[in-house]
Amino acid sequence: MLDNIRAHSLVVTRVAQVLLTALANSTKTNCPLPAKNLVLAGALLHDIAKTPCLENSCDHARQGRDICLELGYPEVAEVVREHVILTKFSPKRYNEGYFLAKELVYYADKRVRHDEIVSLEERLDYILERYGNNDPIRHCLIKENFDKCKQLETFLFFSADMKTEALPEAVAGNNFTTQSSL
């Protein structure tokens, strides 16, 4: 894994951990939370296949899922597979404050450009420029995906009783280390 992808993955993990902690401490949700180890493992490994896919243009989410399956981690595999696009988007469930590990990792990934926490709008602009290929259809699909992410963000931060702009500071104050958290 390239150093910049490793750095990105560590920040995504910190974001996911902060969100999970905020949900756990919130009085606005009484639903069970996803397992911490699943969220953190999925966040750490979400781009496990990104480096080889840069060279041969493969689907890094699918390849990452396959790697996790081969290693015997089917739950992590599904989190990795859906970190780019959620296949089953269920806002109705969000009204109840119920979130899945793959949704936390998906959202955390969308908030991190390289190793910097940014707004969804900033991340969207970057993804359109980097992966949009000046293709209007591709741009439309990317924007639709981000519209889902914006809906998820609204429910997630309401349930976590947190403001979206507070995320960078919360992550900066987080004492995350890979050794102690997994």
Residue 109: both structure tokens together = 């990934």
Average pLDDT estimate for 108-118? 97
Distance CA 149, CA 164 (A): 13
Mean pLDDT of 30-59: 94
Query: pLDDT per residue over 127-145, tens digit each?
Result: 999 999 999 999 999 999 9
Q: Tell me, which fold does domain 3-175 have in CATH?
A: Hypothetical protein af1432 (1.10.3210)
pLDDT band at 91 (very low <50, low <70, confident <90, very high): confident
pLDDT of residue 175: 60
**Distance from C-alpha of 30 to C-alpha of 47, rounded to nearest angstrom:** 31
What pTM does this model have?
0.93
Q: With contact defined as beta carbons under 8 Å apart, do 69 and 48 qualify?
A: no
Q: What proportion of the chain, given as a percentage, has pLDDT over 90?
A: 82
Report how far residue 109's alpha carbon sits from residue 169's, in angstroms, rounded to the nearest whole number.
Answer: 17
Kindly state the helix (H) or strand (E) to which residue 112 belongs, with its residue range.
strand 112-113
pLDDT at 182: 35
CA gap 141, 59 in Å, rounded? 16
- Residue 36 pLDDT > 90: yes
Q: Which residue has the tokens 């004492």?
A: 175
pLDDT at 156 over 60: yes
- State the Cα–Cα distance between residues 120 and 126, nearest whole angstrom: 10
* pLDDT computed for residue 181 by the predictor: 39
pLDDT of the residue at 176: 53
> Above 50 in pLDDT, residue 107?
yes
Q: Coil, strand or helix: which one is 3? A: helix
- Say if residue 72's pLDDT is above 70: yes
From the number of C-beta atoms within 10 Å of its C-beta (0-12, 13-18, 19+), residue 165 rates as exposed
CA–CA dist 176, 140 (Å, integer): 36
